[in-house]
Structure 1
């Protein structure tokens, strides 16, 4: 039976009055105890993700309520598909999503770092340090760490003709993915796709122009980059030509069907003569629609909606190939790629609104009847599609996620071509810098700064552990060499190449990705430390 509790205060005469009545309907946790519960929940989520970090990280298998299987080691995907109930654990899910939306890579690292920072908070709280002082110390340490990243970063050169360094970055990003058997091919595809659509003067990459599509069948080696648009459709009639050269596309969002009166009246057909008139009216309307399209010089119709067999037959008779049921996003991409205009009414159709493409062809696959349509040699050359193949749906989906990460890594370098070195090298170097700065701070915040330095060590520790190395011995050795030799490029040799210098191994990590990890993790920890009271309504107390 729940106890009846209440929060009281007294007036100026000493008479008590109730401010908050806590009956059997509420559960309340407050003070340091509440913060410790939050830390426990966050640590549980971070520990799940921790084993997925690095090139030797393990994959997770996620089974949805309807039995669909996802196998991945992408932090954002794992967290987004987990049924997380605890409020603070959900913040970690949102944290990885923020990293994914803003940077696209480093989603596992940011969660591992946030979990390590919260773990350090527990020891500081036990020593009686106030949560806000801890948060202030972490903010101070984060500024030191980010400042140090700027100092140790290297600027890498690249151009449209020389993309070697971008390729190395894409290789680093793909090293831990399921596509690692073909990661050279995928890295080349990622670099070529980004460089095709990139505006190097503005340092901008429009991901709207890069479409990633996949089809089960073949192997990862069959994955290809198509300079144009690929849509999962075929010609609406099997006797229509399967290849159209010098295509002029009419892009329609209106259906090939007679206009329907927008009234509640109905039309009663009482005789065969009236039925024939209606049929003739429909045929005339179809013929008029096709004539309007043909008069503009169009030789291919892309339609957002469907059309019935009669319209399809007339289109085939008039030698006007058509594709129906093309989705909204694909219609927009085709319009961008071919410099065409989307036409909402047949009356608005003009020759100036047609899209242009050198070749439109159907692709067929193996022994199946699957077909896809490729629009190549488009008027806008800055449109590409990556066509991913794989032996099953799981492989194709994971290859798409891996490709997204590598595209983002290359995009980040075009925005800011500074890199730090992976394998935990940048984290170890920042940890040493923060610990050194803490020794010069006279206030109590020095404890929080040292805790931040210890948390930064958690990433190289996890990398060593996941690679089958002795974590503490490996970290201690690399750290002492960094201090003694002054080399900030030394990291964890996860792949066992016998050389811990990440610069020589070409393990590049875009600077903006690492900076964002530190900032987001520190902001999340401040948010958690400031929540000291949780009242859950609608539940009975124990």
Structure 2
């Protein structure tokens, strides 16, 4: 009987149970499949909706090992959630795409996509075909993007006046846990990006910005180092803690005697043999140290470790050294100091050495934690943001927040146009799309009006999360925008007494806002065009 287990036996006579449940599975297609997809998208968007804006709630995520993450960064929340529905996974990828390309707006893009899906469900119930809805959304998106170009302001993202950049970074950091140090963090982010920015090519190489952290101290102790910080210390406690005018040998070869390439065995049968072996090792170590010193180096940074005897010889020969420095850090040190990574001692030469004005050891309070700071480098464009915080959770959230701020400033270097936040740009686009929908006689006008309504989901969420009456607040701002033709009016989330986002210094990058609308529209179009899902093996999927 279908659905009942059957007993069978293998070739050894061992019983096993076959469960016939294929008939209990069903495949959704057509309107039912669309409803399933939309439900998954709306559910995920509703989870993130409460995290939007400066008054948005944080989410506590507990990992399988008990690790706790507290954040309101949309991309981080979605990546750490255990999402199973395939359409919900598409929304996770949507947020990741926004994070990778823009850095900010990862929550907004999912909220907008969820609102578009919710509006699409109402249109489907009215009998409008999904393709006509998708076409209407596409037309509305073009109108919204055109409106964003019209209402955008331009300010020069240059080295001289950095205040607009700082204000934009502060808008990004306003909704984060670290907003108590909002101004300082924004200044650090701007300084870091402008240190490595190529203004002629209008590009920023993030490889030159390293963000690291150390538990201890407070967020206000966070600093920007024009150089590299390595989480290591000198290999011997008696080595100097500070070296000026450093000539650095960057080595990926170990401080140890060379070994034969083939398998070998060594038998030490007498004291004399042991002494000879020890002398051989000492001779090789001394030769290696001489090669480093002959090249003119006064500091050796080695990717590998070395034993106590080599360490003692380095100290005896007045050659400070750092061991066990990881590959990425070695590369960053080479870029910053202008040195070459040397794989063999015999290849060392003066022109391959890196140079730095100061190499010093940082120590923290009464603890034994030490870090190495390499400053005043030959290539001063390599910088490190060094974050301090009371615990690991705060430091990790500060890293995520600074990543968003760095990305936003990079986008302003690429395209210096901005729009105003607080839902002002969304309401302006909503009004423009609704006005254009009245001019269209085809069925797509319903989808365009739905798109206009979906754009209001972001200011509605901002008002709701700020404790206001969302519908009343958005309706008031919308009417003021339409009457005064002022696209800068948004939601006064912070209660400053004005809805003009220019006065509140709430700024978003134009490129980021455009990307939000483009990505959300394209994903919803893709979902609307899926009316059937089958597993790769051809079996029906169990919904």
TM range (shorter): over 0.9
Q: Give the Å deviation of 1:225.
A: 0.9
- 1:535 is matched with 534
Q: Which residue is equivalent to 2:51?
A: 52
SS at match of 2:502: coil
Whether 1:492 and 2:491 are equivalent positions in the alignment is: yes
Query: For 1:146-157, what aligned pairs fall within 5 Å after superposition?
Result: 146-157=145-156
The match for 1:179 is 178
**Structure 2 residue aligned with 1:507:** 506
- Contact 1:2/1:541, CA 8 A, preserved across alignment: no
Work out the CA distance in 2 between the residues paired with 1:528 and 1:402: 31
Residues 129-171 of structure 1: per-residue CA shift (max 9 Å, x gap): 1111111111111111011100110001342121111011011
CA contact (8 A) 1:2 1:540 kept: no
Q: Does 1:355 align with 2:346?
A: no
In 2: Cα distance, 1:227 partner to 1:336 partner: 13
- Deviation for aligned residue 1:26: 5.6
What residue in structure 2 maps to residue 301 of structure 1? Answer: 300
Matched-pair contact (CA < 8 Å) for 1:99–1:106: yes
The answer on whether the counterparts of 1:158 and 1:164 sit within 8 Å (CA) in structure 2 is no
Q: Which residue of 2 aligns with 1:335?
A: 334
Asked if the contact 1:306–1:324 (Cα under 8 Å) also holds between the matched residues in 2, the reply is yes
Instruction: Kindly state the Cα deviation for residue 381 of structure 1 after the two structures are TM-superposed.
Output: 1.0
Once residues 270 and 145 of structure 2 are traced to their aligned partners in structure 1, the CA distance between those partners, rounded to angstroms, is: 83
Residue in structure 2 matched with residue 474 of structure 1 by the alignment: 473
Q: Which residue of 1 aligns with 2:261?
A: 262
Mapped partners of 1:265, 1:300: distance in 2: 34
1:92 paired with 2:91, answer yes
Q: Are 1:324 and 2:315 matched, yes or no?
A: no
- Provide Cα deviations, 1:101-133, integer angstroms capped at 9, x if missing partner: 011111011010011111111111111111111
Q: Secondary structure at the match of 1:534?
A: coil
436-445 or 237-246, which deviates more: 436-445
Give the aligned CA root-mean-square deviation in angstroms: 1.7
The residue number in structure 1 matching 2:444 is: 445
Supply the distance in 2 between the matched residues of 1:51 and 1:540 (Cα, whole angstroms): 32
Aligned length: 526
Structure 1 residue aligned with 2:211: 212
Q: Which residue number in structure 1 is paired with residue 285 of structure 2?
A: 286
2:124–2:130 Cα contact (<8 Å) kept:
yes
1:131 is aligned to: 130
> In the TM superposition, what is the alpha-carbon distance from 1:276 to its structure 2 partner?
2.0
Deviations 1:305-335 (A, max 9, x none): 1111111111111111111111111111100
Alpha carbons of structure 1 residues 278 and 168: separation in structure 2 relative to 1, 3 Å: same
CA distance in 2 between counterparts of 1:293 and 1:271 reads 34
Partner of 1:74: 73
> Which region of structure 1 is more displaced relative to structure 2, 305-314 or 531-540?
531-540
Distance in structure 1 (CA, Å) of the matches to 2:323 and 2:430? 58
DSSP 3-state at the match of 2:275: helix
Q: Distance in 1 between matches of 2:467 and 2:273?
A: 82
Query: Counterpart of 2:160?
Result: 161
Q: 1:2: how far off?
A: 5.1
Change (3 A) 1:85 1:103: same
Question: Which residue does 1:18 correspond to in 2?
Answer: none
Give the TM-score, by structure 1 length.
0.95
For 1:35, the equivalent position in structure 2 comes to: 34
Who is 2:144 aligned against?
A: 145
Please give the secondary structure, in 2, of the residue aligned with 1:380: coil
Contact 1:173 1:406 in 2 (8 A): yes
Question: Contact 2:340–2:354 (CA<8 Å) still a contact in 1?
Answer: yes
- Counterpart secondary structure, 2:27: strand
Q: What is the CA–CA distance in structure 2 between the aligned matches of 1:260 and 1:301, rounded to whole Å? A: 22
Deviation at 1:281, TM superposition (A): 1.6
Question: In structure 2, what is the Cα distance between the partners aligned to 1:309 and 1:27?
Answer: 68
Match of 2:12 in 1: none
Q: Distance in 1 between matches of 2:243 and 2:25?
A: 69
Displacement of 1:477 after TM fit?
A: 0.3
| Higher mean C-alpha deviation, range 137-146 or range 27-36 | 27-36
1:25 Cα offset (Å): 8.7
Q: Which runs of 5+ in 2 are unaligned?
A: 5-20
| Shift, 1:348, TM fit | 0.9
What runs of 5+ residues in structure 1 fail to find an aligned partner? 5-21
Is 1:377 paired with 2:342? no
Match of 1:457 in 2: 456
Instruction: Provide the residue aligned with 2:343 in structure 1.
Output: 344
C-alpha distance in structure 2 between counterparts of 1:373 and 1:25, whole Å: 64
